[in-house]
Amino acid sequence: MFLINGDSCEQISVQDRGLHYGDGIFETIAVHDHKPLSWSGHIRRLQSGCERLGIECPDKDVIESEVRQLSSASSPSVIKIIVTRGQGGRGYRVPERDNTTRIVASYPWPEFPSGNRNPGIISRICRTRIGRNQQLAGIKHLNRLEQVLARKEWSDPGIAEGIMLDDTGHVIEGTMSNLFLFRQGQLLTPDLSECGIAGVTRANILELAPALDMPVVIKQLALDEMFLAEEIFLCNSVIGIWSVRQIDKYRFDSGPGTGKIRNALLSAGLIAPA
C-alpha cells in the first residue's frame, strides 16, 4: 500500500526532483506487533536530513499518522518513508518554494535465513568505493548509486552482504548495513563523519553499549584491523543484528558480545525478534 501526500495511489509526477536528481531522503522502518520500531530515532533522522538538505520537512504528526495507519494494516512489515523536494522545472536550481512530495509505503516483511543471526553470514569486500563528502555524510539521501553498483558485484545467494570501503581504503559499512566489531575488550565502529549512512540501529547500539560495560571506539577503521576482530556484526532496522562468520577468506566467531547487544535491543523493543 502506498500513500502519496496522504492519498492512496502509486503515481508521482515525472517532474519530481526525487526522480530527476535523487533530491530527497528516505527512512526504512521495521513494524512489529503493528508498531513502528525505533520511531523516535527515525523521525529525528528524517527531520535532520531535511534540514541539512534544505528541504521543508512534512509535519511530524502527519507522517506519524500515516505510518501508524499502514502499520495497523499489516504486521510484521516494512514501512518506507520518502520525502523529496517535489516538482520543479528543468535544471538543478531549486524552486523558490518547496512543493514537497511525501510517500509512505508498506511492504511485506522479508524472510531471512535464521542462520544469518547465528552462526552468521558470509560477506565479501566490494570493489566499489564510497566517495567522501562531509556535506552529505550520514544522511540517508536518495542518491544510492554506490550501493547499487556494489550490490551488483555478486549474485551468489550464499553471500548475504558486502563490505564497502571509502576511497582511502578505510572500512565504512555494508551495502545496506552498519558495521561493528569487538577487539581487545572494545566495541569498534567506523567513523562516518566523511561518508556512509548513520543508521538508527547503529545509534541505538552506541547509546546502549555503555550500560552493557562495552567501551565504544568510533574511528577510522583500516581493513587489516577489521580482519583482526574477535567478533563482527552488521545491523540495520530490518535485519536487526547479523553475526559475520566470514569475509572473503577470513573467518570470525559468533561470540557473546554480539548476542548481548542483540538481546539488549530486543529487550528495549528496538528491533524485531525475527
Per annotation, catalytic residue among 140, 161, 189, 231 = 140
The yes-or-no answer on residue 201 being catalytic is no
Catalytic residue among 28, 84, 189, 201: 28
Torsion of CA 67, 69, 74, 78, to 10 degrees: -10
231 labelled catalytic: no
Q: Which of 161, 173, 194, 231 is catalytic?
A: 173
- The three-class DSSP label of residue 163 is strand
Q: Is 84 a catalytic residue?
A: no
Which residue shows C-alpha cell 502519496? 4
Of 135, 168, 143, 181, give the one whose Cα is nearest residue 19: 143
Beta strands 240-247 and 250-251 are antiparallel
Strand-pairing partners, residue 170, are 222
Based on the number of CB atoms within 10 Å of its own CB, is 46 exposed (0-12), middle (13-18) or buried (19 or more)?
Answer: buried
Catalytic positions: 28, 140, 173
